[in-house]
Amino acid sequence: MTEKEALFEYLLRRADDSLILGHRLSEWCGHGPILEEDIALTNLALDLIGQATEWYQYAAQVEDKGRDEDDLAFMRIEREYKNVLLVEQTNGDFGKTIVRQFLFDHFQNLLFERLMESKDEQIAAIAAKSIKEVRYHLKHSSEWVIRLGDGTEESHNRVQESLTDLSRFIDELFYQDEVDEQLIKAGIACDTSSFEKEYRNNIQAVIDEATLALPEKQWQLDGGRKGVHSEHLGYLLTELQYMQRTYPGMEW
């Protein structure tokens, strides 16, 4: 694998994570539990889709095969998406959406802090441009985990159930293969194992304050980075890609 091929794959992973999670959050538009959160979740979705656009634009430039960001976002098949399984999980109730966001936000925050030091100037610039949004997302989701976990018996039980369910996707956040190894050596990507302990300590501190608990042992799932997804992604892509596949090349 050439460095160019590895870089393209790496950029798709970053973009796909943001696009798929952004689409999931967009599904809350008009359905939020309160007006303020309806607007907040929609704004989070816009942030993530904006980040995805930046990653896809750079990926298209690196690939140099005549595709643009819209082609990469809308015209690939399911197995070509390289997002982690966590972000494609269904919204469930508000608590589950918050827990999913919480687990991802803590990872993305630590990742982007390090990518700002990338030797690839464009990666560093995208990370630097996005970090304020990411930190707000982290604050928002962490505060809600505490509020719901240490709230009523009903909210506590629901969020605990969601945490128990979604924690099986944590390990995949730190999945690395030859793509990452090659770019880490070149100073382009960062070694996620270097901040895995910090990540786990950070989420544990919030979980403790929320009077919640991670399961002691749980089967961990992966495959998203290799294009092997849960059943949920196919349904999501059907909706996401409908307009572009029905009217190829359409622009707003």
Residue 168's CATH number: 1.20.1260.10
**Within-domain flag for 154:** yes
Count of domains forming the chain: 1
Residue 77 DSSP class: -
Question: What sections of 77-170 are H helices per DSSP?
Answer: 85-88, 94-115, 121-149, 153-166
Residue 195: which region, alpha, beta or left (left: phi > 0; alpha: psi -120 to 50)? alpha
Q: Give first-to-last CA distance, the chain, whole Å.
A: 37
CA–CA separation, 107 vs 95, rounded Å?
19
- Answer yes or no: is 230 within a domain: yes
Predicted TM-score (pTM) of this structure: 0.96
CA distances 157 to 14, 47, 161, 211, Å, are 32, 30, 6, 11
- Does residue 231 form part of some domain? yes
**Rounded to an integer, what is the distance from CA 248 to the centroid of its chain?**
27
Residue 69 lies in a domain: yes
Q: What is the pLDDT along the chain (252 residues), one digit of tens a residue?
A: 899 999 999 999 999 999 999 999 999 999 988 999 999 999 999 999 999 999 999 999 999 999 999 999 999 999 999 999 999 999 999 999 999 999 999 999 999 999 999 999 999 999 999 999 999 999 999 999 999 999 999 999 999 999 999 999 999 999 999 999 999 999 999 999 999 999 999 999 999 999 999 998 878 999 999 999 999 999 999 999 999 999 988 777
Residue 93 lies in a domain: yes
In a domain, 218, yes or no: no
Give the domain range for residue 12.
Answer: 3-212+223-246
Examine residue 39 and state whether it is found in any structural domain, yes or no.
yes
In a domain, 192, yes or no: yes
